[in-house]
Amino acid sequence: MRQNTFSALKIFVLSTLVISLCGTAVLHAKTVQLSDKQNNQLDAMQRKAVAYLQDIGQAADGSFSGEAGPGITSIVTVALLRNGVTVADPAVAKALNYLSGFRRPDGGIYQEGSLYRNYETCLAILCFVEANNNGKYDEVIERANAFVREIQVGSDGSVARNKDEFGGSGYGKHKRPDLSNTTFLIEALRAAGASADDEAIQRALVFVSRSQNLESEHNSTKFAPKINDGGFYYTPAAGGTSQAGETANGGLRSYASMTYAGLKSMIYAGVDRDDQRVKAALSWIRKNYDVSENPGMGASGHYYYLHTFAKTLRALEIDEVQSADGQRHNWRGDLISELSRRQKRNGSWFNTRNTRWLEGDENLVTGYALLALSYCRD
């Protein structure tokens, strides 16, 4: 789920970076810009969505869908901050105060008794980093940073590096790490100031590499050669799981939300763009480019996917994607069009086709959509 906290990853659209048919990045002299219509659509969507969250979505205690724990409030607050709302805004101030109430003695920021300690704390880190004017939340971030490092699989030496679960983070509910949680961990660590070669990030990279359908020196899991299409799936741990299902030979199917999440994680972990893992992921993306659904999953997780799609392409400084059929796609324009046609009259979004993973929640999905739109700005 649900962020970019990396101000260093800001880009200026000075040229078009296209994924070519051979899988390498080709720089074109032509500048890709949004049309006046697209800019107007973007502005209108952001205004309506921000107003919805400020006026309708927030509860009296400052939460957004607090019945689901603090995670959604973190996502929405970051979305507001990245779409022109300041920390002085009453809605943001109330949300930050609400989140502060989840601080725990161990440094984590999670609901009491939560099975989602990594997820909730990582999202809170992203939120407090985004709001950290004048070092106000330095101690909160530092202690939360130490907490998520401590609960990473293998951080204490109790799990060997050759184990499939090594380096990952996950939900306590399933007692095994997954790529989504590990992606949040990497992003939170980077947001808190860690470099790409940080020990915890490099441990996480081991797990990320093993979650890719690519047989290589970095991935010797039993699943690696079975599909070998360069995409990513949910987890190789505890027998392996893909939300997209399995092939007849026991392979774990790749799908878009995890493929973009895996690729983004590799970039944040300093993997070179000429690395075979990055090239293979880009090849999968070329073959499966789509914004109307989450490729491999249909409508399931559509808005989580759109957020991850936008964040990843922004991090890669890619302005156009050349799909396998040779067509060039201005991903920002495609994303704006898709979200414009799906926004509700009240300014919100929710997944009308599939409510899996809480995508029937207007606050969460509006947060995802606003975050995705924030990456369309130069």
pLDDT higher than threshold 70 for residue 304? yes
Helices (H), 27-155: 36-52, 71-81, 90-100, 117-130, 138-150
Q: Tell me if residue 322 falls in helix, strand or coil.
A: strand
What is the pLDDT, as a whole number, of residue 175?
Answer: 75
**Residue 87 lies inside a defined structural domain of this protein:** yes
What is the pLDDT confidence band of residue 344, given thresholds at 50, 70 and 90?
A: very high
Average pLDDT over residues 361-371: 98
**Residue 52 lies inside a defined structural domain of this protein:** yes
What is the pLDDT confidence band of residue 366, given thresholds at 50, 70 and 90?
A: very high
Terminal-to-terminal C-alpha distance of the chain: 23
Residue 256, H or E segment: helix 256-268
Please tell me the total number of residues recorded for the chain in this structure.
Answer: 378
What is the pLDDT confidence band of residue 9, given thresholds at 50, 70 and 90?
A: very low
**Residue 238 lies inside a defined structural domain of this protein:** yes
What is the pLDDT, as a whole number, of residue 173?
Answer: 67
- As for how many domains the chain has, the answer is 1
Closest CA relative to residue 81, chosen from 44, 38, 129: 129
pLDDT single digits (tens) 120-154 = 999 999 999 999 999 999 999 999 999 999 999 99
Average pLDDT over residues 255-274: 98
Average pLDDT over residues 262-267: 98
Average pLDDT over residues 329-338: 97
The partner residues of 216 in beta bridges, in order of sequence, read 219
**Residue 1 lies inside a defined structural domain of this protein:** no
**Residue 2 lies inside a defined structural domain of this protein:** no
pLDDT higher than threshold 70 for residue 14? no
Half-sphere exposure in the Cβ direction for 13 (13 Å, CA): 19
What is the pLDDT, as a whole number, of residue 299?
Answer: 98
Contacts of 269 (CB under 8 A, 6+ apart): 186, 196, 201, 202, 204, 205, 208
Structure tokens at 105: 């003695």
Average pLDDT over residues 356-366: 98
- What single DSSP character describes residue 57? I
Pseudo-torsion of CA 117, 186, 237, 68, nearest 10°?
30
Average pLDDT over residues 61-74: 98
Average pLDDT over residues 277-296: 98
- The answer to which of 24-28, 47-51, 317-321, 325-329 has the lowest mean pLDDT is 24-28
Q: Tell me if residue 119 falls in helix, strand or coil.
A: helix
pLDDT higher than threshold 80 for residue 17? no
pLDDT higher than threshold 70 for residue 348? yes
* Better-predicted residue by pLDDT, 201 or 30: 201
Half-sphere exposure in the Cβ direction for 347 (13 Å, CA): 18
pLDDT higher than threshold 50 for residue 288? yes
Average pLDDT over residues 247-262: 98
Query: Which long-range contacts (C-beta less than 8 Å, at least 24 apart) are formed by 287-294?
Result: 287/323, 287/324, 288/231, 288/256, 288/259, 289/321, 289/323, 289/324, 289/329, 290/256, 291/331, 291/334, 291/335, 291/337, 291/338, 292/338, 294/255, 294/256, 294/257
Please state, for a pLDDT cut of 90, what percent of the chain lies above it.
89
**Residue 112 lies inside a defined structural domain of this protein:** yes
Average pLDDT over residues 146-168: 96
pLDDT higher than threshold 70 for residue 30? no
Please state, for a pLDDT cut of 70, what percent of the chain lies above it.
91
Q: How far is CA 228 from CA 74, 167, 280, 296, in A?
A: 36, 22, 9, 15
pLDDT higher than threshold 80 for residue 4? no
Contacts of 327 (CB under 8 A, 6+ apart): none
Contact present, 318 and 19 (Cβ < 8 Å): yes
What is the pLDDT confidence band of residue 264, given thresholds at 50, 70 and 90?
A: very high
d(CA 169, CA 207): 9
What is the chain's mean pLDDT, rounded?
A: 92
pLDDT single digits (tens) 169-193 = 998 766 799 999 999 999 999 999 9
CATH number at 168 reads 1.50.10.20
What is the pLDDT, as a whole number, of residue 174?
Answer: 66
Phi, psi angles (nearest 5°) of residue 164: -60, -30
* Structural domain range at position 196: 7-374
What is the pLDDT, as a whole number, of residue 197?
Answer: 98
What is the pLDDT, as a whole number, of residue 347?
Answer: 98
What is the pLDDT, as a whole number, of residue 172?
Answer: 78
DSSP one-letter string for 23-55:
SSEEEESSPP---HHHHHHHHHHHHHHHHHIII
What is the pLDDT, as a whole number, of residue 25?
Answer: 41
pLDDT higher than threshold 90 for residue 27? no
Residue 328, H or E segment: strand 328-330
d(CA 360, CA 338): 18
The partner residues of 19 in beta bridges, in order of sequence, read 25, 321
